[in-house]
Amino acid sequence: MSRFSSKRGKENPEVSTASLPDIIFMLLFFFMVTTVLRDAELKVEVSTPTATEMTKLEKKSLVNYIYVGRPSKKYQSVYGTSPRMQLGDKFAVVQDIPLFLEKHRITVSEQQQSGITSSLRVDGKVTMGIVQDIKTQLRKSNQLKVNYSAKKRAEDLK
């Protein structure tokens, strides 16, 4: 019979931490490159109305945001104080909506194009005339999924 020698007194070697900084910097670089903070600078003042019945949008990458409100103080000297529409990162008129929608549509795969939603973020003090014009243009552009952004009421948060 053979005997097994006991391995007492021998310790496992320590794990080398020399490559740890490389891994950390690689992860940091990856997250810096892939993170998207905000698509557009908000150039209009939007104070959305409050609501009680709301649903959350699932896929934010399939949402076109249309902002309507008074230009912020920085832009009032150029654009005035009347309500304006912002598509993406620039001011626009209602006739620019089809091109804006088409630019977004070509970035989405064909399977997901039916799920594209237009979200209207409209200031509570804006009259319905401009909103109706936007809705009419969305209908003409065959964009039938429309969402109105709102905040939850304070009494519902409790």
Q: What is the pTM of this model?
A: 0.73
Alpha helices, DSSP H, located in the chain: 20-34, 76-79, 97-105, 128-140, 154-157
Instruction: Quote the percentage of the chain above a pLDDT of 90.
Output: 63
Q: Model confidence over 37-53: pLDDT tens digits?
A: 666 688 999 998 888 88
- Helices 97-105, 128-140: inter-axial angle, 10-degree rounding: 50
Domain ranges of the chain: 44-153
CATH placement of domain 44-153: 3.30.420.270
pLDDT computed for residue 17 by the predictor:
85
Q: Model confidence over 104-141: pLDDT tens digits?
A: 999 999 999 999 999 999 999 999 999 999 999 999 99
Task: Give the span between the Cα atoms of 99 and 117, in whole angstroms.
Answer: 15
Task: Give the span between the Cα atoms of 87 and 67, in whole angstroms.
Answer: 7
pLDDT computed for residue 89 by the predictor:
87
Say whether pLDDT at 152 is over 80: yes
